[in-house]
Structure 1
Amino acid sequence: MTDHEIVYMGMPHERVLRPRFYLAVALTLPILLIAMGPMLVPAWSHGFPGLSHTANGWLQAVLTTPVFFWSGRFFIRRWWYSIRERDTNMFTLTVTGTGVAYFYSLVALIWGDHFPAALLTDHGAPLYFEATAFITTTVLLGQIMEQRAHARTESAIQSLMDLTPPTAHRLDADGNETDVPLKDVQVGDRLRIRPGENVPVDGEVTDGRSELDEAMLTGEPEPVLKESGDTVSAGTVNTSGTLVITARQVGEDTLLAKIIKLVEEAADSDPPIARLADRVSDFFVPTVGAIALVSFLSWTIFGGDQGWLWGLLNAVAVLVIACPCALGLATPVSIVTGIGRGAQAGVLVKDATALERLAHATTLLVDKTGTLTEGRPRVVAVTVAGGGDPGPGSPSPATEESILALAAAVETHSEHPLARAIVDAAKERKLTIPDSTDFASEPGQGASATIDGHTITVGRAAADAKVDSHPHASLVAVRRGDEELGLIALEDKIKASTPAALKALHHRGIKVVMVTGDRQASAQRIADELGLDAVHAEVTPERKQELVNAAKAEATHGATIVFAGDGINDAPALAAADVGVAMGTGTDVAMNSAGLVLVRGDLAALAAAVTLARATLRNIKQNLFFAFFYNSLGLPLAAGLFYPFTGWLLHPMFAGVAMSLSSISVVSNALRLRRVKLD
């Protein structure tokens, strides 16, 4: 195994594990059929048809060997590390159990006739090859699920990297332009950025005027005017005019590179939760080992001439009966069932451990735009300036409808978010939009067009302009020549489902805090209207992550912090949070950085996800109990504790019954999650 194959918790990329899983499934199914067939088909009471008991055993051994050694190779590696480092975990328990079952079965197959009669069945010594193959296969499935979740973080990082162009247009002293690889750009270089292109580096505008889409940084949809002296950031999009900038930060010093680094550090430094199975293993492994050792020594000392043989077989019996066949099922079956139930409720679970973390959620930090709000501006009011005239030859004064129709006629030619909102509003009101010609756009000032021989301009309103009914709205003024006809107010509305969703989250004991790049006044208005517990406005992507880390530091032991967002600027915070929740309507970067995705793009499903997470965690704990309970009952019997008083020893069939009962209990219990109520 090469170093580059190792991606997460000592395990390789899931593309390396998949072929091993497919082979394990292909070989385990016939092993189970051979071993368990006699229990299902009475005609097979003497083994697989046409084969003797010994031949059946050797066939199982041949099929199990590649499953244990090749498909389970990485588990054996992890087992060895846990022994060497004295750090027990799930692999310590499972590989110890599967290894003992495998090697004991080989010994029983070869020398079983020499075992004491009390430990033999009608067909000789019992074999446990099917337990080895089945446990290895199911644990491998769980590891593939984990590696897929980690691979999505890598995809999020790659999506961020793709925001910068591979080349830049560099200008020399004479103004001649040459395309150069981005890595060759130096601080002080002059670069040209054409409309529609991504900014390659952080810099300062030295020539030109344009509007840049900075949603990746602020999360806000409205482009920002940039002119001489203003700063620009790598990865933002030039929407209209041509700019010439001087590079100030390049390579790893750009803001985008720092965001990428934040995501990488969050993914690497945020270790997975300690599995419940690992915590059980911390106690169970030493206990079982001690029982096996005491059993061997006791039989050796007090068992007579063949005491060492009885001690050895009973020690093996202890390790075999302690191997919980259902352990490999305990977590994966509950998680898979929970994932399916979540999908029905509009919750896409991408990271299996996110469900367990979400069960302990105490604080939700949530982005505003696109998460609490719809993420797109809408016309909320139109006001008429006194004495305005909608057009030549019209004796009637301007009306809200005529102002909106004229504005829509101009903005039909524009792709600006506010322009689209105005056009959509006119269409919703079924207004007749007049024809316009000679469209022109002036970055930062607005747009103009000729309608019926007159110039109509839609642009920024005066600094002191206001609409009393919407004091925090964005305003645009509609003018005919130098005459102002009226104002159009636009706001990003709160999603209809948000108030009920927040109420449900509060009911589940979760504190909700808004973190947004929007201005303080607008953010505070939303927070007051929704009754949020706190608000942080005008924050950068780095600051969002800092707020997440601060909340994690202040959280009580066992509590988890959730962050919900939909934009590129949310990626560092999504990766840093204990649970990242992305909107299904958001960016690919956000969804790849998150552990859960709300398919419909609103928080209404998050409260249901919390309920599901808590139900799933309870189910996993119950499954772990079933996985160990039946096996643990047999430990004293396997060790020979009752032999001096009753003459009882562990009959081999008891181990098979215990394994079957634990597996059946685990599967049956996990399936109950399909019916759990989430409202």
Structure 2
Amino acid sequence: MESSTATKGTHTQTFPVTGMTCAACASSVETILSFTDGVKSASVNFANNTVQVEYEEGITPQALNDALQDVGYGLIISDKSIQESVEEEQERHYQEVKKQTIGAAILTIPVFVLGMFFMDWTPGRWISLVLTIPVLFYFGKHFFINAWKQAKNRKANMDTLVALSTGIAFLFSAFNTIFPQFLIQQGMEPHVYFEAATVIITFISFGKLLEEKAKSSTSSSLKKLIGLKPKTLTRIGDEKNEEIPIEEVQLGDRILVKPGEKIPVDGKVISGSSFVDESMISGEPIPVQKETGEKLFAGTINQQGSLQMQATAVGASTILAQIIQRVQEAQGSKAPVQKLVDKIAGIFVPTVILISISTFAIWMMVGSENGLTHALLASIAVLVIACPCALGLATPTAVMVGMGKGAENNILIRDAESLELAQKIDTIILDKTGTITEGKPRVEDVLWNQDLNKVEIQRFSRILLGIESKSEHPLAKAISLDLEKQDLQPLSPTGFESFSGKGVVASIDQDSFFVGNQKLLEENSVEIPKPFQPFAREKAKDGKTLVYFAKKGQALALFTISDQIKTGSKEAIQSLQNSGIEVHMLTGDQEIAAQYIAKEAGIKHIKAGVLPSEKGDYVKELQKQDRIVAMVGDGINDSEALALADVSIAMGHGSDIAMDVAKITLITSDLRKIPQAINLSKLTVRGIKQNLFWAFIYNVIGIPIAAGILYPINGFLLDPMIAGAAMAFSSVSVVSNSLLLKRKRI
């Protein structure tokens, strides 16, 4: 457990919570703890199933747990970390729901067969009765428990409807099985509806299983972020160096970081020079040169030389720890949107109950000698025809088909809520590197010294290829890839030396060659030709990276390297803007490069040089303006913004963490898939609304008939069996309508 002293005499501690199944549960837990003696405050994070409690010293965690257990909830009090405890609880709950679903399905199959094909076989009714009891009151008991919790809060949702309809159907069927003569003496057939009750429980349990499966994987992104932190580090001592656990490092400690190692904590360079991969922070692929006095960040990777650093931030104070914390907070800060079905059920359930009671009362008052029987049958028929099978299927069937349609088009959708919300997007934030652009430096232009002939250019190209093939630097790789297109045979250098922040010096045939920046050439007395100078100034203005190639005393070529805009990015951005969506671009890159890419892509709203936390703040600022914001990114530095956005979209080639946090992943990393995803959302939501229409049209027509509105006119009284058939037909209509989505183009 994570615990810290908030103020004198109080503790602030975070506990995993058990038993929460909805936003109402979260609110109940928060309220109960807040009103417990000795508790200063309580804040529930429903997404993570945790609660942070500030309580006085005299109160024990067990006392808090006891207060919650009285109403069906509980706290996990353990020596394990919160992350471990939450994961264990999620896995335990998933396995429990899985067991409930499988158990209910196994028993439902024979009940369904007996009810549909052997309905007149008397022993079959007794068999169904025996098999239905464990389906409802063991495997499906959570529906009744949750319905009771909702009732105590004066609320109603799908669980209420499930518990009510299945419970009534079971009691009526059990009565007709045990006392069949009661209806027979009234001249009526004692029908049973065990199959309806069990099928409802099994179908909706299966939906909850899929939901729990999705929830159990939400913590993987945090696990991967936490995995970026090295577990040990090398502390420099007065007499010798020692390897210590990262938890033992103190502010001011001197640390040795070898080539290839992760920077363990935030700090500054006190000795040495190297290139550090900071793509985790900035999103930019080109390593940053670090020399004495430069800042270093935990989780970034030292690529070349050894560095000695001094720790300036450790533990929860590091940039990486703050990213982890902010992602965790962001995932929990979005209160779950109450599903449309629950909203409808909140009105529909009380209405149905009222109609059913009114039907019973009216029949008792105006009924004939069979008034009690008619009242009972009519009120039960009302409840049966209002059974939530079609209502329960309306959203998940459309979403399931929508997700399948997305997968066919290289759009992976993990979250039904995002699929439903995407159609409302009015603002999209795009990361630059790897999202709009390819994220891989490429040679854009080459200017060779005009004094060279074709033969000389080819020989020098082979020499340059040989030199750059020896380097792992992204800029060297870009030049190598460009030269390899010419099918050249490289000339390997006999000598090779790298100079951090400048470039490399190599020897071939007793000649010295230089590949690097202008500073390297100046230090080796290589004059830059006049034709190169205006070309270099123009490209530098556009944010291009310049790499010179020279031999002793002579500049041979100038390469300009940049990150290219992806095929389709400009088209996708134009399509989004044409549909009324405002497009923003955020990047950790410099202002000049950002302005150039924005101009090329046709984006008006940009912000450059942003840190990961600033991306998250940017999302929040737009949301404060009542905008529905989508974030599209591919890196660790985008993870907080992705978690905060209303709709989060990751590029398929990006980091695992970005893809874990995001709810939609574009497998091909083609931005043109975003307008397709939005159109898919529109079609799916339209399908859901149509499904809800079909789910309710039978109720609108059927409930008055079930209540007996036609009886005074033509003596027709709806049999509960026919009511059950109407309910089943509405379910077929819903499924059929959902399947039509498969034929539509996005």
Mapped contact 1:478–1:485 kept (Cα < 8 A): yes
Corresponding residue of 1:110? 178
Corresponding residue of 2:237? 172
Mapped contact 1:383–1:467 kept (Cα < 8 A): no
Mapped contact 1:384–1:485 kept (Cα < 8 A): yes
After superposition, what is the alpha-carbon deviation per residue over 1:45-75, rounded to whole angstroms, capped at 9, x for unaligned?
x44xxxx633222222333333333433433
Within 5 Å, which residues of 2 pair with 1:457-606? Answer: 457-462=514-519, 466=536, 468=538, 471-481=542-552, 483-555=554-626, 560-606=628-674
Structure 1 position 202, deviation (Å): 0.9
**Structure with larger RCO (C-alpha < 8 A, sep 6+):** 1
Task: Choose 322-331 or 366-375, whichever is displaced more.
Answer: 322-331
Corresponding residue of 1:134? 199
The correspondence for 1:294, drawn from 346, 355, 358, is 358
Secondary structure at 2:630's aligned position in 1? strand
Mapped contact 2:129–2:194 kept (Cα < 8 A): yes
Corresponding residue of 1:393? none
Distance of aligned partners of 1:189 and 1:116 in 2 relative to their CA distance in 1, 3 Å threshold: farther
Distance of aligned partners of 1:304 and 1:185 in 2 relative to their CA distance in 1, 3 Å threshold: farther
1:88 aligns with 2:161: no
After superposition, what is the alpha-carbon deviation per residue over 1:463-483, rounded to whole angstroms, capped at 9, x for unaligned?
988263673211112232454
2:389 & 2:186 partners in 1: Cα distance? 24
The one-letter code sitting in structure 2 at the alignment partner of 1:495 is K
Mapped contact 1:403–1:478 kept (Cα < 8 A): no
The one-letter code sitting in structure 2 at the alignment partner of 1:455 is S
1:72 aligns with 2:137: no
Distance of aligned partners of 1:73 and 1:189 in 2 relative to their CA distance in 1, 3 Å threshold: farther
1:79 & 1:313 partners in 2: Cα distance? 24
Distance of aligned partners of 1:89 and 1:404 in 2 relative to their CA distance in 1, 3 Å threshold: farther
Mapped contact 2:246–2:264 kept (Cα < 8 A): yes
Distance of aligned partners of 1:70 and 1:232 in 2 relative to their CA distance in 1, 3 Å threshold: farther
Corresponding residue of 1:281? 345
1:35 aligns with 2:92: no
Corresponding residue of 2:295? 231
Task: Choose 522-531 or 637-646, whichever is displaced more.
Answer: 637-646
Mapped contact 1:156–1:593 kept (Cα < 8 A): yes
2:108 & 2:597 partners in 1: Cα distance? 57
Structure 1 position 610, deviation (Å): 0.9
1:355 aligns with 2:419: yes
Unaligned 5+ runs, structure 1:
39-45, 390-395
Structure 1 position 207, deviation (Å): 1.4
Secondary structure at 1:87's aligned position in 2? coil
Corresponding residue of 1:413? 470
Structure 1 position 117, deviation (Å): 6.5
2:424 & 2:199 partners in 1: Cα distance? 32
The one-letter code sitting in structure 2 at the alignment partner of 1:422 is I
Mapped contact 2:425–2:629 kept (Cα < 8 A): yes
Secondary structure at 2:495's aligned position in 1? strand
TM-score (norm 2): 0.82
After superposition, what is the alpha-carbon deviation per residue over 1:23-64, rounded to whole angstroms, capped at 9, x for unaligned?
33333333322222x3xxxxxxx44xxxx6332222223333
Corresponding residue of 2:703? 635
Aligned pair count reads 651
The correspondence for 2:131, drawn from 63, 67, 89, is 63
1:497 & 1:199 partners in 2: Cα distance? 37
After superposition, what is the alpha-carbon deviation per residue over 1:538-576, rounded to whole angstroms, capped at 9, x for unaligned?
1111111111112222135xxx21111111111111111
Structure 1 position 100, deviation (Å): 2.3
Corresponding residue of 1:336? 400
2:431 & 2:422 partners in 1: Cα distance? 18
1:190 aligns with 2:190: no
The one-letter code sitting in structure 2 at the alignment partner of 1:466 is A
Structure 1 position 328, deviation (Å): 2.4
The correspondence for 1:181, drawn from 221, 242, 245, is 245
Distance of aligned partners of 1:382 and 1:405 in 2 relative to their CA distance in 1, 3 Å threshold: farther
Structure 1 position 593, deviation (Å): 0.5
2:175 & 2:555 partners in 1: Cα distance? 96
2:19 & 2:484 partners in 1: Cα distance? 55
1:103 & 1:488 partners in 2: Cα distance? 82
The correspondence for 1:22, drawn from 102, 119, 132, is 102
Distance of aligned partners of 1:504 and 1:629 in 2 relative to their CA distance in 1, 3 Å threshold: same
Distance of aligned partners of 1:478 and 1:119 in 2 relative to their CA distance in 1, 3 Å threshold: farther
Structure 1 position 594, deviation (Å): 0.7
Mapped contact 1:403–1:486 kept (Cα < 8 A): no
After superposition, what is the alpha-carbon deviation per residue over 1:590-616, rounded to whole angstroms, capped at 9, x for unaligned?
100111110111212111111111101
Task: Choose 276-285 or 82-91, whichever is displaced more.
Answer: 82-91
Mapped contact 2:463–2:493 kept (Cα < 8 A): no
Corresponding residue of 1:43? none
Secondary structure at 1:574's aligned position in 2? helix
The correspondence for 1:242, drawn from 286, 306, 310, is 306
Task: Choose 73-82 or 188-197, whichever is displaced more.
Answer: 73-82
Secondary structure at 1:331's aligned position in 2? helix
Mapped contact 1:5–1:16 kept (Cα < 8 A): no
The one-letter code sitting in structure 2 at the alignment partner of 1:79 is A
After superposition, what is the alpha-carbon deviation per residue over 1:352-407, rounded to whole angstroms, capped at 9, x for unaligned?
221101121111111111111111000011123465x7xxxxxx599665554433
1:55 & 1:27 partners in 2: Cα distance? 16
Secondary structure at 2:337's aligned position in 1? coil
Corresponding residue of 2:386? 322
1:303 & 1:67 partners in 2: Cα distance? 36
Mapped contact 1:523–1:535 kept (Cα < 8 A): yes
The correspondence for 2:689, drawn from 616, 621, 625, is 621
2:494 & 2:174 partners in 1: Cα distance? 87
After superposition, what is the alpha-carbon deviation per residue over 1:445-497, rounded to whole angstroms, capped at 9, x for unaligned?
22232222223222223598826367321111223245432221101000112
TM-score (norm 1): 0.90
Task: Spell out structure 1 runs of 4+ moving beyond 6 A.
Answer: 116-119
1:84 & 1:402 partners in 2: Cα distance? 85
Corresponding residue of 2:488? 431
Structure 1 position 646, deviation (Å): 4.1
Structure 1 position 148, deviation (Å): 3.2
After superposition, what is the alpha-carbon deviation per residue over 1:237-263, rounded to whole angstroms, capped at 9, x for unaligned?
111111111111111111111111111
Structure 1 position 116, deviation (Å): 7.1
Secondary structure at 1:669's aligned position in 2? helix
Mapped contact 2:386–2:727 kept (Cα < 8 A): no
Structure 1 position 215, deviation (Å): 0.5
After superposition, what is the alpha-carbon deviation per residue over 1:312-351, rounded to whole angstroms, capped at 9, x for unaligned?
4433322222113222221221111111111111101111
1:552 & 1:325 partners in 2: Cα distance? 36
Mapped contact 1:461–1:487 kept (Cα < 8 A): no
The one-letter code sitting in structure 1 at the alignment partner of 2:693 is F
Structure 1 position 623, deviation (Å): 1.0
Secondary structure at 1:359's aligned position in 2? helix
Secondary structure at 1:634's aligned position in 2? helix
Question: How large is the Cα RMSD of the aligned pairs?
Answer: 2.5
Unaligned 5+ runs, structure 2:
1-14, 26-48, 50-89, 523-532
Within 5 Å, which residues of 2 pair with 1:439-450? Answer: 439-450=496-507
Determine what percentage of the aligned residue pairs are the same residue.
39
Corresponding residue of 1:422? 479
Task: Choose 99-108 or 233-242, whichever is displaced more.
Answer: 99-108
2:110 & 2:585 partners in 1: Cα distance? 55
1:147 aligns with 2:147: no
